[in-house]
Amino acid sequence: MAMEDPSDTSWAQVHEGIEAVITRWDEALARISDETAAQRTVRDYLVDYVFPRAGGSLQDAAEFLFLIVQRLAELERAGDALTVLEWIAELYAGHGDADVAVPALMALTDAAVALAAHDKDPGHAVAVLNRAADQVAPQAHVAIQRAACRALAHAAFLTGTARVAEGDRGVRQQAEPWRTILDRWSGSRDVILRWRLAQAHFHIGLFHLLLGEDTSADASFADAAAQSNGLAVDAAVAGELDTEYFARGEYARRVLRAVELPGRAANLTAEQLMRPAADRWERGRERHQAKELVRAAQHRHRRSVGEVKTWCCCGQPFALLLRNFGLLEWTVRQPGADYAGGQGFHQVQTFTYQRRGDHVVRELGHEVPIVQVAASQSAGLELDSWRFHGEPLAQAQLYLSNDSWFETVTHLITLAETIIIWAEGMTPALAQEMAAVRAQGRTQDAVVLIEKLDDDPAQRAPIAFALAQQIVGEDSDDHDAVRSLANDLMTQVRTSREQLTPESPALAGFPHVVDVRQAPEPDSAQHPAVLARRRHHQGLAELPWDERMARLSRRLGT
C-alpha cells in the first residue's frame, strides 16, 4: 500500500478503498441499531481482512486510517473521524517501536485538536487523547513518553473548553488532566518531560487562583520554576520546547505578590438586596432569595478576582471597564411602614442593556477580557438580570464597598492594558477615577464612550408610579394620590447629572473619545479609537510571553 506519492497509479486505488470503507460504515449503521457495534464491525473488517491482505507495514496501515479520518472530516463527520482516531490509539499508540508509536501519537494529537473545533463537544477529542496516552507503558522509550505527554497536555487544554460542572467543582475537574501528567512523569530527568511538568504545575497554579487558593497557587508556581533545577538543555531538543517556560513560574510568583485585590465583596448583605414583602411568608421568601443572591455575588466576586490574577500571572493583557453607576441599573428605595406596620421600605429596581455603548464594549471584548467594577448594591441587580437576560458585558465583575472602591480601582488602572470609561454624565466618583488615570499617565490607553443622558421622563415615570403605588397601597383606588406622589418622586428616580460631551472640560487630556449618542451601533464599534485599541491588543497577542509580561512588570515596578 505505497501511498507516499499521490501521483502514483495506486493512489486511485487507495481513494477507492477509502470510499468503500465509508460506504461499508454507512451500511453497518443502517443495519445495526447499536452505533458502537456497527462501528466495531468496520474496524474488525479493516484489521482482520483489509490490512493483512494489503501486506503493508504498520505505518502504511496507520496512514490509511489517517486518510479515512481526513475524508470523514471533509464530509463534516467529526464524530466519526474521532472514532477512527480511537482505533489508531488502540492499534499503534502503545506499540513498543518508537518508529510506529511516535508518528501515530503526534498525528493523532494534531488531528484530535483540529477535529475538536468542529465537534459538538470537545469531550470526545479529550477521550481520544486520554485513551492514546493510556496505551503507553511506563517503561516505553522516552520519545514515546514525550508524545504521550504531549497528547495529555493537549487534552488538558481542550478540557478547558469542554462543558464541566459549574462552580468550584468544574474548576477542579479542569485541573485533573494536568494532575495526571504530574502523577505519571514526576521525577523524570528528561528535559522535555520536565518542561511538561513545569507546564502542568503552572496551569494548576492558575486553577488555584480561580478557587481563591493563593497560597497553593504560589506553591504550584514554585514547583514549576523548580523543574529547571539541575537540567542542562540539550541543543538537540532545544527546538522542541520553549525553554523560557521554566521562567514563567518565578514570574507568576513575583506578580502574584504585587497584585492586591479584595477577596470578598464587602458590605454585601441580604438586607441590601431584599425587596418589600406583603406578609411573613413573602418576607421569608425574599430573605431566602436575597441570601442566594449574596452567595452568588460573593462567588462571582471571588472568581473574578481569581480571573484577574490569572490574567496577570500568565501575561494576558486585559481591559478595565469604568462606568457611571446607574448607567444600566436603577434602584429607588423609600423608607416607610411595612405591611405589618413595622419599620420597612418601598423599592423599585430595573436593569437594562439597551444602551448604545453596550455594542462597543462587546466588540472590544472580542479581543480582550474585561473586568468591571461596580458598587456592592449593584450585585443583586446584575445577577438577577443575568439569570433571565443572558451574560454580562464583562468577563469579570468586582463588587466593591465605598471604603475599598478607589484603592482597588487605582490598582486595577495599573494592571489593565486598556481602560474603558463609559459615561453619560460626570459624577464625583467618575471624576476621581479619571483623575487616577491621569495621575498614572494612562490617558493614551483609555477610550471614553459618551452615552446619551437617559433623562427622559417617559423612562422614569413607570418607576415613580410603581413606587408610589407601593407607598399608597397596592390595592388603593385613590389614583389621584398615586399620581401626585409619583410626580413628587420623579426627581428621586434618577440622580440629576449634566450630559457629558466631547468638549466637556472633564475630558481634557483624554485623546480617544467616542460619542455614541448619535452614531449607529456598528459605526461606533468601528470608530478609529476603538479599532486602534483592538489592533493594539492583536499586536500584543503576537509578542512573546516574556515581552507581554515585561509590560505589566514595568507598570507594577516588580
What digits encode the pLDDT tens for the residues 167-224? Answer: 888 899 999 999 999 999 998 989 889 999 999 999 999 999 999 999 999 999 999 9
Give the pLDDT score at 78: 93
Cell numbers given for 143: 520519545
Q: Which residues of the chain have pLDDT under 50?
A: 1-7, 276-279, 330, 333, 338-343, 345-346, 348, 385-389
| CA triple 471-292-406, angle to 5 deg | 80
Give the pLDDT score at 201: 96
Give the pLDDT score at 4: 46
Give the pLDDT score at 137: 94
Give the pLDDT score at 246: 81
What are the residues whose beta carbons fall under 8 Å from the beta carbon of 5, sequence distance 6 or more? 11
Give the pLDDT score at 6: 47
Global confidence as pTM: 0.82
Residue found under cell 448604545:
356
Give the pLDDT score at 127: 95
Cell numbers given for 438: 491621569
Give the pLDDT score at 509: 92
Could you report the per-residue pLDDT of 71-81, keeping only the tens digit for each? 999 999 999 99
Q: Contact 314/160 with Cβ under 8 angstroms? A: no
DSSP string, 486-547: HHHHHHHHS---PBP-TT-GGGTT---EEETTTS-HHHHHT-HHHHHHHHHHHHHHTS-HHH
Give the pLDDT score at 182: 97
With CA atoms as reference, report the closest residue to 280 among 346, 333, 327, 342: 342
